[in-house]
Amino acid sequence: MRYRTHSIRPPPIMKLAESAKRFIGSANFLDLGQGLPGHIPPKEVLNALSERISHPTTHRYTHDQGQLELREELALYLRQTSQIDVDPQRELTITAGGNQAFAGTVLTIIEQDDEVIMPSPYYFNSVMAVQLAGGIVKQVPVNSRYQPDPEAIEAAITPQTKCVLLVSPNNPTGAVYDQSVVDKIVDICLQNDLFLISDEAYARLVFNDSKHYSPRRRRDAHDNIITLGSFSKDFGISGWRVGYTIGSTEFMDEFLKVQDTISICAPTAGQLIVLEALKSDQTWVEEELRRLSLLREFAYLRIREIDAFDTFETKGTFYLFPRVKECTSTRDIVLAILQSTETLVLPGGIFGEAGEDHLRISIGPLTPDAVDEAFNRLSDFFAHYKSE
């Protein structure tokens, strides 16, 4: 049988998880692969959900756009945290996670053979979604600081180009895009009548006095900008699958056709836990951000001790993205690390051509002791690897 998805590669983390299967049950196994935070919501949030769980409405669909109370609370939250204005009734839809927000967006705007320009390295699920919609991804390498190159993006535009994707803070590099760079790309999109998709799933995860800048702050570009978000990382609820999409009223009318077809609405219980989290005092989120900040400092201290790595310290997320010197295949290195140290990291090549000689190391759920042990193992591995 022939399937239209045949040319789309399988989810790379699933493939690597197969390789790691025999190690996962080991007490010695360290997982630095999947991007997970290290916290869950506090008891007061969970207890509030518990009180609602027996109510019949918790087990029913919500409006396609999501509960209005949640959208109103989220609009206030985004005004406070990202300084953007959103009409909760006409410009905002709650989705079943950030991935569905992106997939729904490209299914709404991408036609067969339309081009999507993506700074590379990129998040691989974004590529899969564009291909699923029949689009074509054009990779434009980032610079040595992992910032996108506006001039290179402009040069990549053709008559088939439909949109540009920005992910900041970035997965996999951790880069927080400079406001001046983002504004130049917004201008390019306006001049060429392109959509700009801004994936802001990691918006709260910024460190070292860095600031997240949402292009939606550009009021002159609201018709062109589609903003995506997720609660998986900052609220520690990746399993509940809740995200959101923001766009013009015209876009939202079209997006809801996809939303209703694919999921009808985001999971009702997931919407409720996000609502309770938004209504909480957020001190638990701030505590997690402080923990991650200290953990990142320690991880960067340790990684600089490994001569095999060339590491640029970025200011966002819980990912490190070192370049492996004298590397021919990071996939081979990742499998060798797994076999010899029972430690899983991800090969940079799954994030695009520009990531090929890098590793993505995710430290989100780890303790300082686990981070220390992970870099001890990596240090020992590369000392041996270099001598081969």
25-29, 62-66, 246-250: range with lowest mean pLDDT: 25-29
Examine the pLDDT at 387 and tell me if it is beyond 60. no
Q: Identify the pLDDT of residue 180.
A: 98
Query: What is the dihedral sign for C-alpha 304, 307, 308, 312?
Result: positive
CATH number at residue 305: 3.90.1150.10
Within 13 Å of residue 159, how many CA atoms lie on the same side as its CB? 0
d(CA 338, CA 32): 11
Same domain, 228 and 268: yes
CA neighbor of 99 nearest in space, from 226, 32, 5, 199: 199
Q: Last residue of a domain, which of 279, 310, 345? A: 279
> Are residues 145 and 80 part of one domain?
yes
Q: Confirm whether 375 is domain-assigned.
A: yes
Mean pLDDT of 210-239: 96
275 and 331 fall within a common domain = no
User: Considering the entire predicted model, what is its pTM?
Assistant: 0.95
Please answer whether residues 145 and 119 qualify as being in contact, where contact means their C-beta atoms are separated by less than 8 angstroms. Answer: no
pLDDT in tens, 72-102: 999 999 999 999 999 999 999 999 999 999 9
Helices in the chain by DSSP H: which ranges? 12-24, 43-52, 68-82, 98-109, 124-132, 150-155, 179-191, 249-262, 268-279, 283-303, 330-341, 368-386
Say if CB 170 and CB 181 are below 8 A apart.
no
Contacts with 9 (C-beta within 8 Å, 6 or more apart), sequence order: 128
* Average pLDDT of span 210-234: 97
Q: What is the mean pLDDT of residues 241-259?
A: 98
The pLDDT of 109-117, averaged and rounded, is: 98
Place of tokens 């996999």: 172
Residue 1 covered by a domain: no
For the chain, percent of residues with pLDDT exceeding 70:
99
Per-residue pLDDT tens over the stretch 143-158: 999 999 999 999 999 9
* Domain boundary, last residue among 244, 279, 314: 279
63 and 155 fall within a common domain: yes
Same domain, 34 and 81: no
Query: Does the residue 94 lie in any domain?
Result: yes
- How far is 87 from 80, CA to CA, in rounded Å? 14
CATH code assigned at 69? 3.40.640.10
Domain that holds residue 120: 46-279
What is the count of structural domains for the chain?
Answer: 2
Look at residues 279, 297, 318 and tell me which one is the last residue of a structural domain.
279
Contact of 149 with 142, CB cutoff 8 Å? yes
Q: What is the pLDDT of residue 386?
A: 59
Same domain, 314 and 366: yes
Which residues, listed in sequence order, are joined to residue 138 by a DSSP beta bridge?
117
In the numeric block, the tokens 């983002």 are attached to: 182
Q: Report the range of poorest mean pLDDT among 17-21, 160-164, 171-175.
A: 17-21
Between CA 172 and CA 193 the distance in angstroms is: 28
Same domain, 28 and 69: no
Interval 257-274 mean pLDDT:
97
